[in-house]
Amino acid sequence: MQYIKFPKLNIKISRFGMGCMRFPKKKNSVGKSITDELESIKMIQYTVENGVNYFDTAYVYKDSETILGKALNGGLREKVFIATKSPVSMVEKPENFDIYLDEQLKRLQTEYIDFYLFHGLNKDSWKKAKKLKLLDKLDNAKKEGKIIYRAFSFHDDLKLFKEIIDSYSWDMCQIQLNFMGEYFQAGVEGLKYAASKGIGAVIMEPLLGGLLGENVPLDIVEKWDSSGIKRTPAEWAFRWLANFPEATIILSGVSTMEQLKEDINIFEKAFSNSMTEKEAQTFKEVKKLYERKLKVRCTGCSYCMPCPSGVNIPGVLWQYNSAFMSDPEILKEGYKSWFCNNKMDASLCIECGQCEETCPQHITVIDKLKAAHKYLMSG
């Protein structure tokens, strides 16, 4: 496994970090989808055995902190760095910060958290964090030994990102970045700005919720292959990020052991400053193809769920995107037979706006659901 020295902190961390938001699922006795705890623990332990020492989770990632705590209990905890997040959007008064942190320590079965992040800062949550003086809370938690490094994850524009970076003595930041989002949110400029301040950056959504790595359209696969270099679409996407030395850690939210093994293998040979001019040109051509196909930049994070009207929002948007990447008639039929028949289609949307308030991608969800339903019901 490739390791990188984290800026300012004098610690070495694996370039690849395991994201814990998308643990594998299974059906329970009544057919409901639940997290497969045993398989998740197996994957976490396999990850550690293969040299990965960074794990990213959050208070709101269902079951993930508890599962991670169980997996690392028994000798593995001291071998790894745990990053988890304070649910700022749920904090209504200063003391809530401590309540959530103490609960997370219990879930994770640890006396301290290595990297503690304000979760998903945007204009509103940053304003709240300052109003409630949560930065002071972060400092106090560090003094008490409950956390080691102070950090934040981010979902807003570049201007706000720079403001937050300059407002406090951060140890780390976490941003969304992939080759389709070079100028989206903090973007590459934000990545380099953080580095100029000596702040290491952790990258999330490297595959845009899996859209850049799974079910890739044939014409895009052919464009990758035309480079003369045999790689999977996922490896291409990871290598674009790894080429930036400022991208300290690159997360992947794996859902299967197969994905995990592939990612570990990729990061044993994906190095910074190694991209050729030919590879760079291939990325430009592939990006153009994706831009013609992608209708919604939904990553499937499910922050919009549950919908009070029962709409499977990420599912509908995934179906909509997929219809432009593969056989539209099959996707349309699947929408009608599954989403509509099970009463989770977009026609049930009452336009309450709850989903748009929680979407880290700032998607105009209501409009996109209307467009998706119209298209998927056509023909």
| Domain housing 341 | 313-376
DSSP 61: S
What residues pair up with 150 in beta bridges, in sequence order? 116
pLDDT at 328: 77
Domain shared by 243 and 127, yes or no: yes
User: What's the pLDDT at 326?
Assistant: 67
Higher pLDDT, 318 or 185: 185
Q: Mean pLDDT, the chain, as a whole number?
A: 91
Q: List, for residues 95-108, the tens digit of each pLDDT value.
A: 999 999 999 999 99
* Average pLDDT estimate for 71-81: 93
In a domain? residue 81: yes
The yes-or-no verdict on residue 34 having pLDDT over 80 is yes
Name the residue with higher pLDDT: 227 or 74: 227
> Which residues partner with 26 through β-bridges?
34
Tell me the mean pLDDT in the region 126-151. 96
User: How many Cα atoms are found within 13 Å in the side-chain-facing hemisphere of 10?
Assistant: 0
Percent of the chain past pLDDT 90, that is, above it, reads 65
Average pLDDT of span 16-30: 88
Whether residues 140 and 19 share a domain: the answer is: yes
243 vs 287: CA distance, rounded Å: 17
Residue 354 exposed, middle or buried by CB count within 10 Å (0-12, 13-18, 19+): middle
Could you say which DSSP state residue 5 is in? Answer: E
Q: What is the pLDDT of residue 143?
A: 97
pLDDT at residue 49, as a whole number: 94
In three-state form (DSSP H/G/I as H, E/B as E, the rest C), the secondary structure along 138-184 is: HHHHHHCCCEEEEEEEECCCHHHHHHHHHCCCCCEEEEECCCCCCCC
Domain count, the chain: 2
Give the mean pLDDT of 83-112: 95
Tell me the helices (H) and strands (E) count for the chain, helix number first.
15, 12
Q: State mean pLDDT over 267-281.
A: 93
Of 61-75, 185-199, 202-216, 318-332, give the lowest mean pLDDT range: 318-332
Asked whether residue 268 is domain-assigned, the answer is yes
CATH code (residue 101): 3.20.20.100
Tell me: do 324 and 230 sit in the same domain.
no
Do 185 and 329 reside in the same domain of the chain? no
Q: How far is CA 286 from CA 122, 189, 237, in A?
A: 30, 21, 11
Looking up tokens 């859902």 gives 255
178 lies in some domain: yes
- Return phi, psi of residue 370, to 5°: -60, -45
Q: Are residues 167 and 230 in the same domain?
A: yes
pLDDT tier, 336 (very low <50, low <70, confident <90, very high otherwise):
confident
pLDDT of residue 197: 95
Final residue before a domain boundary, out of 293, 324, 351: 293
